[in-house]
Copies of this chain bind each other. A is one copy, B any other.
Amino acid sequence: MGIKPLRIVPLGGLGEVGKNMMAIEYGENILIIDVGIMFPENDMLGIDYIIPDFNYLLDKKDKVRGIIITHGHEDHTGGIVYLLREIQAPIYATALTRGLVEVKLNRGGMLKAAKINTIQAGESIKLGPFTVEFFHVSHSIPDSVGLGITTPAGLIVHSGDFKFDHTPIDGWPTDFAKLAEFGGRGVLALLADSTNANNPGWTESEKVIEGGFDSVFRNAKGRILIGTFASLISRIAQAAEVAERYGRKMAFVGMSMVENVKMARRLGYLKIPDDMIVSLDQTRSMDPDQVVLMCTGTQGEPSSILGRLSTGTNRNFDLLPSDTVVLSSQPIPGNEEMVYRTINRLLHRGVEVIDENVAPVHVSGHASQEEIKMLIQFVRPKFYIPIHGELRHLKQNARLARELGLAPERIAVVENGTVIEFHNAEMKIGERIPGGYVFIDGSGVGDVGPAVMREREALSRDGFVAVYLNLDPKSGRLVNEPEIVSKGFVFVHEADQLFGDARKRIREVVAKTEKDGMRNRVERDLSKFFYNETRRRPVVIVFA
């Protein structure tokens, strides 16, 4: 019995390859790495979020030996409830990641059903034929890990989301020694984060934020509102440190912010003295220059705290003219317009706004080109697989590897759903598995697909017109005037003439049409009429 092929399967359809979910298979054994969500693109109308399609795994449920979560961000954890509904396998995560996953499982009513094991960087576990070594990586959330997976086919190294920060906030840099040790041992394949593969140089250390925050605090005349992701625990720690230096107290606003801070303090990832923390209510009676409000909403979401503050529609509290708002964040691609609109609205309301364009109040959590090259040099893999990026990032990452002398045939740039096989120390691009991703819309999982999406698109462009023809059952002639209702098409109060002409047209068509094809005929004819009059194509439906 020879050695079987090892299969690496990035799952999740469009979007970043291997980011949200990946399977590693050997014989009758499967490891799942990460189960995250994607946020919908601007033209995925009405969609809340997107999860990977689990179909591929459903007839292999029993073979799943474990679900490994590399770190606590949404795009690596957000689909866990949906996966556990289908596949019951033990979860492995570091303490902070576990804390964040448990919050999710609890909300989804799956906490009791889940088997979760806490692991630590430096440990290793055996799952079927796999031995998984967890090593620490620095990233924009603490307690992130990469993976060294020893398989019968060889050693696979998975970088996780990483950067090489020599002065991280938690004092815990990426485990360079472990990477070098893997390199010495001999690595079959390296899977490496490509998010910032287009950025030359070296990503700045989280440390530079301190200088940015310090200058903000030195100059602010009133309250300071700092917007960031609720999961950016180290950023919250930095804000707390500078706040203490300047004699300010902190209040946390928004459920996810409050919950995460509570959990991170309990687990020891956030060391803020009790007397530094006040409630939002308490801040009302404090001098504005003693207050820091930490809140979410840095992606321009209209319903977030910063979004509502920017439009003056927040209920609990409002902006003061002396406020300084800090956006310690970066727009996620696709959100630029909403983020910049929020900034413009905040400025319109008279407050000071500081974002990364104005002062160093944000750095990325992902490796730039020189760090990616460094990683490759440490690990010296036989084969190289760029992951965690769109195709344009993976291609650029592959260019970097080629610059370091890796032969093109040793580099695999694939899309989600394409299987990469290792057999007898050779790599080959295997089958393409069907399926991709699943839309979550309201309480619906996957009941909205391309057809519904096309209808929404048409409705979003030109709205609809619904018509009721009250026809005499015997003669098939109109009993009274056709009734027309429209939404999203034209401003109804100024369209009397248009709808008057439409009714006239309908009467003409009805007069010369048999009852049988009546509805279709009127729909077709009205569509043409409205296009000629307005150059718009509303969805037209007719009841008769």
List A residues at the B interface (Cβ < 8 Å).
41-42, 45-46, 198, 333-334, 336-337, 340-341, 343-344, 347-348, 353, 355, 357-358, 390-392, 395-396, 399, 415, 441-444, 447-449, 451-452, 455-464, 466, 468, 483, 485, 487-491, 494-495, 533-536, 539, 541, 543
CB distance from A342 to the nearest CB of B (A): 10
6 closest A-B pairs by beta carbon, nearest first, are: A442-B535, A460-B460, A455-B488, A459-B459, A334-B337, A46-B461
18 A-B pairs with C-beta separation under 8 A: A41-B337, A45-B461, A46-B463, A46-B488, A333-B337, A334-B336, A334-B337, A347-B395, A443-B535, A448-B491, A449-B491, A455-B463, A455-B488, A456-B488, A459-B464, A485-B541, A485-B543, A487-B539
| Alpha-carbon separation in the docked complex, A460 to B43 (Å) | 9
B415–A348 contact, CB under 8 A? yes
Residues of chain B contacted by A334 (CB below 8 angstroms) = 336-337
Residues of chain B contacted by A461 (CB below 8 angstroms) = 45-46, 456
Residues of chain B contacted by A353 (CB below 8 angstroms) = 392, 395
Tell me whether A459 and B487 are in contact in the complex, defined as CB-CB below 8 angstroms, given that A348-B391, A391-B348 are known contacts: yes
CB distance from A542 to the nearest CB of B (A): 9
CB-nearest residue of chain B to A498: B447
CB-nearest residue of chain B to A15: B344
Further contacts, 5 of them, CB under 8 A, given A42-B42, A333-B337, A452-B491: A442-B462, A443-B533, A443-B535, A452-B463, A487-B539
Tell me whether A491 and B447 are in contact in the complex, defined as CB-CB below 8 angstroms, given that A390-B340, A442-B536 are known contacts: yes
Residues of chain B contacted by A456 (CB below 8 angstroms) = 459-461, 463, 488
B392–A534 contact, CB under 8 A? no
| Alpha-carbon separation in the docked complex, A334 to B543 (Å) | 40
| Alpha-carbon separation in the docked complex, A495 to B198 (Å) | 45
Other-chain residue from B336, B455, B487 in contact with A333 (beta carbon distance below 8 A): B336
CB distance from A106 to the nearest CB of B (A): 20
| Alpha-carbon separation in the docked complex, A458 to B460 (Å) | 8
Other-chain residue from B442, B464, B534, B541 in contact with A534 (beta carbon distance below 8 A): B442
CB distance from A511 to the nearest CB of B (A): 21
| Alpha-carbon separation in the docked complex, A455 to B462 (Å) | 10
A541–B466 contact, CB under 8 A? yes
Tell me whether A357 and B198 are in contact in the complex, defined as CB-CB below 8 angstroms, given that A333-B337, A395-B347, A463-B456 are known contacts: yes
CB distance from A394 to the nearest CB of B (A): 9
CB distance from A489 to the nearest CB of B (A): 7
Residues of chain B contacted by A539 (CB below 8 angstroms) = 487
Residues of chain B contacted by A333 (CB below 8 angstroms) = 336-337, 340
Tell me whether A447 and B337 are in contact in the complex, defined as CB-CB below 8 angstroms, given that A344-B390, A392-B353, A463-B459 are known contacts: no
Residues of chain B contacted by A392 (CB below 8 angstroms) = 340, 343-344, 347, 353, 355, 357
A490–B448 contact, CB under 8 A? yes
| Alpha-carbon separation in the docked complex, A41 to B302 (Å) | 15
CB distance from A207 to the nearest CB of B (A): 20
CB-nearest residue of chain B to A389: B344
CB-nearest residue of chain B to A200: B357
Residues of chain B contacted by A452 (CB below 8 angstroms) = 463, 488-491
A464–B464 contact, CB under 8 A? yes
CB-nearest residue of chain B to A47: B461
CB distance from A541 to the nearest CB of B (A): 5
Tell me whether A42 and B337 are in contact in the complex, defined as CB-CB below 8 angstroms, given that A460-B459, A488-B452 are known contacts: yes
Interface centre among A46, A343, A462 (most CB of B within 10 A): A46
| Alpha-carbon separation in the docked complex, A535 to B46 (Å) | 11
| Alpha-carbon separation in the docked complex, A541 to B485 (Å) | 8
CB distance from A90 to the nearest CB of B (A): 31
Residues of chain B contacted by A483 (CB below 8 angstroms) = 543
| Alpha-carbon separation in the docked complex, A447 to B491 (Å) | 6
| Alpha-carbon separation in the docked complex, A543 to B449 (Å) | 28
CB-nearest residue of chain B to A449: B491
A396–B463 contact, CB under 8 A? no
Other-chain residue from B487, B494, B536 in contact with A464 (beta carbon distance below 8 A): B487
CB distance from A309 to the nearest CB of B (A): 16
| Alpha-carbon separation in the docked complex, A42 to B337 (Å) | 8
| Alpha-carbon separation in the docked complex, A42 to B460 (Å) | 11
| Alpha-carbon separation in the docked complex, A336 to B457 (Å) | 19
| Alpha-carbon separation in the docked complex, A337 to B358 (Å) | 24
CB-nearest residue of chain B to A42: B42
| Alpha-carbon separation in the docked complex, A28 to B328 (Å) | 50
Tell me whether A396 and B336 are in contact in the complex, defined as CB-CB below 8 angstroms, given that A455-B487, A461-B46 are known contacts: no
Residues of chain B contacted by A487 (CB below 8 angstroms) = 455, 458-459, 464, 539, 541
| Alpha-carbon separation in the docked complex, A198 to B344 (Å) | 14
| Alpha-carbon separation in the docked complex, A78 to B460 (Å) | 25
CB-nearest residue of chain B to A198: B357
B488–A459 contact, CB under 8 A? yes
